[in-house]
Amino acid sequence: METRRGYSIFQIALHWLIAALVLFQLFFGESMTVVVDAAEDGQPASATDQALGSAHYWVGLPVLALVLVRLVLRLVSGAPAPAGHGSRWMRVAAHVSHGLFYVLLLATPAIGLLAFYLGDPWGDIHSLAKPAFIVLIAVHVVAALYHQFWLRDGTLKRMLSPAG
Ligand code: HEM
Ligand code: HEM
């Protein structure tokens, strides 16, 4: 659905809040692995890993809740049409990569819960989210910068200031 000229203030706030929480998870997620491995070996984990492991749990769950809110908002108020007149393959690439983001944003915390309560193979599957997110975020950031500063079609700007 493409019904708006730009993103609403709520969509923008959710985009950057979720991005910050996901980056936190990617930077500090390994502490959760350390805590899980230490528990399996009957060894104590360091206080830092315990704190970051616990933060991993309590930052991960809001990601799931916020993404659900974001999807409902998107279904209700729609997504804006592309800012510029990119070629067909660029529109398809944007659709596919945004769709993949939503799949990852829902599946990663859900599988994280399974990993936490049931262990492997869910832990191994959950860990695959790290390279998947890194590749997708890298492509996404390069695309956003390319649109804003090379094509100059205002794509990044409209994810920073709401539509009037
Ligand atoms: C978007 C949200 C999340 C992201 C991006 C994320 C990312 C990560 C990353 C990068 C690791 C370390 C993988 C490694 O050591 O290579 C990890 C481990 C782990 N995460 Fe998450 N996580 C998220 C949400 C959650 C949630 C909500 C839970 C549980 C409630 C959870 C439970 C775990 C567990 C149990 C491990 C250890 C897996 C193992 O090695 O067995 N995660 N996560
Ligand atoms: C973990 C990090 C991130 C995630 C998960 C993420 C996810 C997404 C998703 C799912 C959309 C599509 C929104 C929709 O139409 O429903 C989007 C749009 C967008 N993102 Fe991100 N993003 C992240 C980081 C970033 C960063 C760092 C930048 C800036 C360099 C950025 C710039 C943008 C822009 C400009 C759009 C709008 C694209 C358009 O108007 O077609 N994102 N992002």
Asked whether 91 lines ligand 2 (CB < 6 A), one says no
- Position 1 in a domain: no
The CA 87 to ligand 2 mean position distance, Å, reads 19
The CA 26 to ligand 2 mean position distance, Å, reads 16
Q: How far is CA 130 from CA 57, 85, 88, 124, in A?
A: 16, 32, 30, 11
The CA 6 to ligand 1 mean position distance, Å, reads 33
pLDDT for 20 equals 98
pLDDT for 45 equals 94
- Position 4 in a domain: no
- Position 164 in a domain: no
Q: Is the pLDDT of residue 58 over 60?
A: yes
Q: Specify the higher pLDDT residue, 85 or 121.
A: 121
Summary mean pLDDT of the chain: 93
- The tally of domains found in the chain comes to 1
pLDDT for 164 equals 60
- Position 153 in a domain: yes
pLDDT for 86 equals 75
- Position 103 in a domain: yes
Task: Give the atom of ligand 1 at the shortest distance from the alpha carbon of 35.
Answer: 37
Q: How far is CA 135 from CA 30, 62, 100, 128, 139, in A?
A: 18, 23, 11, 11, 6
- Position 3 in a domain: no
Show the ligand 1 pocket: residues with CB < 6 angstroms. Answer: 22, 25-26, 29-30, 32-33, 36, 56-57, 60-61, 63, 108-109, 112-113, 115-116, 123, 126-127, 129-130, 133
- Position 152 in a domain: yes
The CA 26 to ligand 1 mean position distance, Å, reads 8
Asked whether 108 lines ligand 2 (CB < 6 A), one says no
Task: Quote the percentage of the chain above a pLDDT of 90.
Answer: 76
Structural domain of residue 147, as residue ranges?
9-159
Task: Quote the percentage of the chain above a pLDDT of 70.
Answer: 97
Q: Specify the higher pLDDT residue, 104 or 89.
A: 104
- Position 54 in a domain: yes
Mean pLDDT of 151-158: 91
Mean pLDDT of 108-115: 98
pLDDT for 85 equals 73
pLDDT for 1 equals 44
DSSP structure string for 7-71:
--HHHHHHHHHHHHHHHHHHHHTHHHHHHHHHHHHT-PPPHHHHHHHHHHHHHHHHHHHHHHHHH
